[in-house]
Amino acid sequence: MVYTNLPGVFPEKQDGGLAILATSNAPKVLVMGTATSGYSETPYLVGRTQEAAVLFGTGGTLIRGMYETKASGAENVILFRMGATATIIEGIGVMLTTGGIRIETAAKDNSTLADYDMYFDETSAAQRLVIRNVASGATVFDRDYTLTTATIDRGEVYVSGSPTDGEGDAIGTPSALVTFTYVNTNKVALSVSVTPGTDGTAPSRMKLYEFLYTSYKQLENVD
């Protein structure tokens, strides 16, 4: 006997899930604004509005501007997030108020303090700086300053300068790295200066004009 219409779950594979998004020959419309996450100071071509909203978040003005532009009939929209700043840590490995090692995150956001942890060994025999991505657990920078170059440098942080033998304070240990947030909280005790990253979503009117001016300069040579 043949049974039909039995209840059950029947998976079905839809074609086109990996299809490349079709490009548009329509005029390009650039939307500049602030956002709580996503690529910073980089033109982003919108393929799907929902994906862009997830990437950049709904805070700030960028995604609102995207929806307004789409509603006006624009087909080829490019987003440019402006105003976010990086976390900067300075004065590692020195006793003076200037010099030493400087760390700047490549990502620009207010989450960058919590995104990385580190340790610095200040002894003259082994001055070593290690920075790790907290989410992935991967070491993104590792340098023994008795060597001329870093052993690991994945480009997630920009490290410049050098320590002075036997100077500065130790930060964390090889078995217990500390986050940039910890360094910021204890910066006076660690004799370093910290400038936390920001998402730039609530600028003053003057700061907004500064963001726009900087963004226009960055886009001068972009098609």
What's residue 167's pLDDT? 85
Do 107 and 133 lie in one domain? The reply is yes
Do 75 and 92 lie in one domain? The reply is no
Do 39 and 67 lie in one domain? The reply is yes
Q: Is residue 187 part of a domain?
A: yes
Q: Is residue 12 part of a domain?
A: no
C-alpha dihedral sign at 167, 137, 160, 180: negative
Do 94 and 48 lie in one domain? The reply is no
- Count of positions (residues) in the chain: 223
| Token pair in block for residue 81 | 């997030």
pTM, two decimals, is 0.79
Do 98 and 171 lie in one domain? The reply is yes
Write out pLDDT tens, residues 140-198. 999 999 888 899 999 999 999 999 887 889 999 999 999 999 999 999 999 999 999 99
Rounded-to-integer distance, Cα 44 and Cα 199, Å? 17
Residues of the domain holding 142:
88-195
Write out pLDDT tens, residues 26-61. 788 999 999 999 989 999 999 999 999 999 998 999
Do 63 and 111 lie in one domain? The reply is no
Give the CATH number, domain containing residue 44.
3.30.1490
Do 56 and 107 lie in one domain? The reply is no
Number of domains into which the chain is organized: 2
